[in-house]
Structure 1
């Protein structure tokens, strides 16, 4: 079975952004349950040289738009900053999901015919769509979700693999935890 570029990007990203939306709720619940200052989880990070929890969400939304416009061979949108407050981040996730919902399979059909320049922070050179999607687009996307997950866990949020995997029921009904 083969998957189209659309199949391995848009539905996967919609699912992952829903996970990040759930993480915002977990962050708020953590602040309440541990009597933390409001918004303190948003400014938490794993290491001094890493992005904060809120920035992980913001950057992931920006990267989704950047990568998908690149795959559609459209003018790339400028990265956006949002206030590091819960309503603004929830709104940004919603905007990004709405953007993804406008993409049709035919919008990314020609992506395999293009060559993609890699940024120096990733690697030097260029690659085709399959490698770009596998080794850059999806890798970056899941990196930011994993780091947001790790920050919440580090702060004591009661989340685990099921939260990272999101709301998914396999067709066979098996539990994969």
Structure 2
């Protein structure tokens, strides 16, 4: 039986977004225990030219919902990058999951052959849907999930591989 575009996108995105919510739980507990201002974690970055934790979570949200929008041909909801605290990051994660939960397997039927074009300044890339998902969207999504984890780990939050992998329900 072939693997569907739905199965390798929507449930994968939702699972990792739930992992992010769990990482935020650990970060908040760490901040409370160590008396670290949450803003220090919210604004933390691995390098000066990288996005802070808040920006990483915004990109995880954008990458997942925009990937589905490009693959279905139906524009995804747009969320402004205006989060100012952990509660607002949680709300963004929840809104992203709520959107993804509206997507049905039938919405992604035949999307593997849909042409997807993305641009970065003067650079332009055109993919088939399956190549876009496997070679761009998923790697980009997990880059930002991993960077979120790395920022927290770098700031002393007690997260490990099991926290990153999440549960297998």
Instruction: Identify the TM-score tier after normalising by the shorter chain.
Output: over 0.9
Look up the match of 2:105: 105
Q: Which runs of 5+ in 2 are unaligned?
A: none
SS of the residue 1:21 aligns to: helix
Q: Where in structure 2 are the equivalents of 1:46-61 lying within 5 Å?
A: 46-61=46-61
SS of the residue 2:116 aligns to: strand
In 2, Cα distance between equivalents of 1:12 and 1:136: 15
SS of the residue 1:112 aligns to: helix
Aligned residues: 169
Look up the match of 1:85: 85
Return the offset for 1:3: 0.9
Provide, for residues 5-60 of structure 1, a one-character-per-residue CA deviation record: whole Å limited to 9, x for no partner: 00000010110000000111111112112211232101000001111111111121
Return the offset for 1:113: 2.7
Look up the match of 1:68: 68
Distance 1:6 1:39, change over 3 A: same
Return the offset for 1:131: 1.0
**More displaced 10-residue stretch of structure 1: 143-152 or 30-39:** 30-39
SS of the residue 2:94 aligns to: helix
Q: Say whether 1:137 aligns with 2:140.
A: no
Look up the match of 1:44: 44
Q: Say whether 1:11 aligns with 2:6.
A: no
Distance 1:6 1:99, change over 3 A: same
Q: Which runs of 5+ in 1 are unaligned?
A: 170-177
Contact 1:82 1:89 survives alignment (8 Å): no
> Which fold has the larger relative contact order, with Cα–Cα distance below 8 Å and residues 6 or more apart in sequence?
2
Return the offset for 1:79: 4.6
Look up the match of 1:173: none
In 2, Cα distance between equivalents of 1:79 and 1:38: 22
In 1, Cα distance between equivalents of 2:29 and 2:129: 40
Return the offset for 1:140: 1.0
State the TM-score, normalizing by the size of structure 2.
0.92
